[in-house]
Structure 1
Amino acid sequence: MTCRYYSGAILDVSGSMQYGTGTFSDTEGGKWVRALLDAIDDLVTHDASNNDKVLAIGAGARRMENEAFDVIKTIALLQNDDWCDSNLQEATYGTITAIFNLLERHGAKHIRKWAEMNVVSSVITEDEAILVLRKLKEDRDFTRTFVFEYLPESCRDWVDENDTSVMGFFGYQFQRVQSSVVSSFRQATKDDISDVVKKAMSYLLRVRNDSAYPAHKAADILRGTDGGERLSPERAEKLHRKMKPYIYGSTPLYSALHNAVDLFDLFPDSEEVDKYKYLFVFSDGAPSDYGDIYKLKSKFEKRSISVIGCYMSTSTGCSIKPKQLYGTVGSDWEEGARFLFDLSSMVPTDNVPRAIFINNGWDVDINKKETKLFLHINNPENMRSAVEVVKKAMSSQDSLLDLITHVSIERYIKSENDKFKPPKQEGKTCYANAAATVMHLALVRIHKREDGYPTFESLRREIIDKFGEQGADTMDVLQTFCPKYRLHCKAIDRKEALKAVSERRPVIARFELTDYEWIEFNNIFNREPKKILSEEDIHIYSRISARKISHAVVLTSYNSDSLCLMNSKGVEWGDGGFFRVKNADVVGLEFIDVFWKENDLSEPEKQQYRQHGLDIASKLVSSLKGIKNGIYSCPLCKITSKISEFHGSLSTAVCPECQGEFDSNDGKGNIIAMNIYLTSLNN
């Protein structure tokens, strides 16, 4: 079943964010806004599917009539190259003249009489003037609205007194009634011009039906021309400087929340898709507008939207602690904290999300049956890590299904009874290890496959029998064997590889190193098993001509920091048999996907596959109850210890008392494997 992530954020950029959230200077307030931009970046970083959607609503616009606005659209408009360096610069007479010319042609023939050039220039910035001018040229609806709704009637055409048509007659009579307005014509004040500007900016930046963006498009807009995989500090600082004149207003959280509900309603609903919907609400205080929080909560619950309240404050005047989930509100909490706590969704304390929080170093009120998804962020530097752990928790069913894959992978690389024990055959049969792994994992995704499941060992042996122990081209191998098992293979790029992994489908990764580079590669991971390899460690693009040796591995997962790959040297090598690289370019990774299509399945197989994921998730969820205080009796020494005290790998657990090893996936040991898995998520 396909997964879709519909994620959103409401960002409080009100005036208190500039000087508040504790005792902040303006510079420190800017750090919070930049941290909010980082939070948006984190929402889009892991979303590899083109169907994932992201929305970001700002609460606190200063130069808008409606103070809830589309953050991503605002960023897109602010980054235009023809905008001036200082967005506080007064509008030039040339730009204002161009605006007047357009307005005159569309009905506002008296605009120059109503609005003097110097008054307009003192109110509107050059950036705003350019934006309005561009919109007037491109959007007839905006032009019509501007002329007939934003400008006063005295700016528009008057009906000809000599017009004898029906409309002319009624227009003449109406003009007589309005004669006092004509005789007492009043020129615009700065406040009049400011009102028009606010209405225009509201039209341009307000939240609309198109304010939910594909994740990849939102990422491109946010990161701009930097071309990086994350929002750079320089880019965040530049965006803050551009946004500063338009934010730090009041706090219309109710308006922003209603906008969010309307946007979530636009997302497609299908029984064929697993949907994860969550909304982060970042704020340092209570709303400045009015609403019914209980009706809002009901709307979110009805739509299965998880709401995460993020209270941003450095204040030490209350009992709220960072990295802790609460079941009840504290008596000394501030109004803003109480509001966000009430708004936040409940999560059962004996369920998977709770276990993920615990294993990422969070405290949970275990005496309560339920806890709130309410976070206290006391430092802008902690914003990204908070978003990260919540995303893991809210997509916990996905994590549970990933467990099955990870357990299988670790069993393959352990291979105590297999002949490819490292390191003697490394470099010659790695192609068979990688091909057999991804083929087998593709096949076991077909629940109750009619042709049964060839084991990893049998696939590997069949491949080696055909291609030998002296190495082979991995693509040739796959093209030979995939059709036999109703599978397909193809070369894919980096984005396609990440998308495959996000859908729980590991892919083959190939790369080449010289003899010297291989020595250095192995030395690095022998010294620092958990190191993330970067271009600073190995320089494949500056090498001189030399013999290169190819190697095939398996890409199993990724996050915002690195790609995680499975080697074929056993768990004694690297980080339990895995290694990490900063990105695909570090060692020049090339990817091959192995997959099946729906048309390749029989009708019974299709039905079984749809049900299988739900069954597995349900069983694993039930096994997690009481994970923090649960106990387990070691099958070796028979001594009972807390589950959280066991350690080891996904396939082998180590008793905290006798230090003996036993199979963590045997019977009741599944809960041990799950606890170790959740702990490993933090690494």
Structure 2
Amino acid sequence: MQTERQESCRDAPIAKRDALSQSMVGILVDVSGSMERAFDLDSSKDATVERVHTILTTVLRIVKAELNHHSNRSDEIFVTAFGLDIKVNTCDLVAVLDLIAGPEHLRRLEPHDALVKLAKNHGAAHAERWIREHLNKEEARDLFRVLCFDEDLVPELIQKIPPGRSRSSSILSVLRNNLPGGRYVEGFVVHQTEAYCYAQDLVKSKDKVILRKLESIEHSFPKSVLYVSQLLDDLNLIDDDSSCASSSLHSRIKELIDPIRPYIFGGTPMCKAIRRASQVFRFSGARSKVLLILSDGESADGNPRFIARDLKDSIIVSCYLTDAHISDPRCLMDKASPDWPKSDGRQTLFDISSTVKNVDPPVSFLIDFGWKLPPSGESRLFVQANSLDVVDELCKIVVAELTNPCDALVDLLQKVPLSLYINQENASFKPEKQVGGTCYAHAVATVFHLAMHRIVGRDGGHPEFKQIKDRLIADYGKDGAFAERVLERVGPEYRLHFNKVDEIRARQALNHRRPLVAMFFLRKNQWDKFREFYEKTPKEVLQRDNLGDGSTVAGVGDGGHAVVLIRCSPDYLLFMNSWGLTWADGGFFRVKDASVLDRMTFYDVYWTLNDLKQSEKDAYQIEAIKKAKNLTATFPSINSLLFECPKCRITSSVKEFEGDLIEANCPKCEHKFRPTNDDLVKSLYLRNV
């Protein structure tokens, strides 16, 4: 029944896997005693059921994202539950679900039919009559589940079921159908009663059977996402149209976890779980490897930080689960809070999480969902979650995209390609070499050019950098100009605005993929040291001490300079200069922070929706529709998105809305309105075509 290899030893061997899978996702789920209150947000609900629902929703979200992003179905996933209150304290959660579901060919059958099939597989076709006559539906279900955990028990049960059907058996059937509470009448068909009693004994001893099986699946092994998707579908545990558990779903999950409930809430062997994940990843040929940890971070078997170092080729996403109030859960951090004790689980999970750049997918996409990113330019893949929505969103946006770095997020069809294009346009922009005092023209033209590229279908097209630069030089000359004055006078002609901002706000603008014009001033002796520093160490970060104090008397050679702030990190700001590709690091230079260069000023250039013409707004919608049409086959989950009616405020699946691009009908209140949500527009369009 259990087709995957199972090992009971502490260090189960893992065969070297061929480099077939493009990606592998590992999920470590903490089910220890310290987690017992996590997500106990509604006292009317079973906290354990809520937590299991979170876990299964997380697994399903990742599995579906994998399937939707790739035609390659060899991508793999493994799920380890750690913190069981048994000797081995970890288990393969997918294998547990596999056991509960039973053999694939029996999963969708009614309990009686499943037992009959199981008996026939063991050559006992005669058992069908006994099964149907002596077991009610609940008894058949319980017995089937026990036998799923240990199929070796099937032959013993069959031996106690007599071959054929006697007249006494028929009398027994009449009696059990008519006598209140009577399973059998003492003295009738004693050999059949023996079979029934044995079946009852098996059900009563299910705890021992389950415990024995759990201890045999201590280690997790990867399975294909296609297999896991089918398993979850067979178990009928997840409602696709809602992230919240319905009452029926709640009952199904409760029924699922009842057999294993006595064996959870033990210690927290986090090191063991991470070490095993490291082994699985090490022998995988997957291109990308992502490990998601759902825990409160309270490790009982050592310091996970040291074990996590072995995962240097993998990306770790840590989710701190708590029932405590979190004022701002949709927020990534670059530094641990000073309020956290070093022994705090949050500190542990934060320390082992991976660091990523804010401007790179998938972190940059979080902004479109209202998440906050730190101004340093980098974030840790660590979140604090006290609701199912935060966990679901994290998996939907971050984990799925990390395993598919070349693909766009399904739920941001038009935004993601545009965001990627903006990032590529910013990254591919090459520093030009200025002639005379035209740094202002190079800086302003660069930022204008990139800002206008963010307007889809811009009326008049997207002016090229050289076109803008030459125009500015013709108007303001080659002997220098004040960049702020140029921005004031020329920006409105391109329907662009600007704000003068400090370093923190400049970093936030970069998080939104907006390069900035920057100006600074140096004395002559500082300019000499500035040039010398980058000639000798072109890739190093300039510090204030490298320039001196600039206290010399003003004179020839003093002056300001305009550049473009293109990127940031916690350790430096990266600028693009206009001194050609051979200067410094390919025309770019790094400065520790804004205080290093005197009078450093940043100008954030932007446009608003009010600045767009109707044709440009229409072009944006058309572009979104075009991308949706082209990507429908690749991303079939478009129609599973949720949309809130602007009138009744009830959320429904996008596929439930009727109408067209001009007018849509809410399936709940039948309110007619013009669609403005891009997801709804795309869904209605795809249905019409």
Q: TM-score, normalised by structure 2?
A: 0.43
Q: TM-score, normalised by structure 1?
A: 0.43
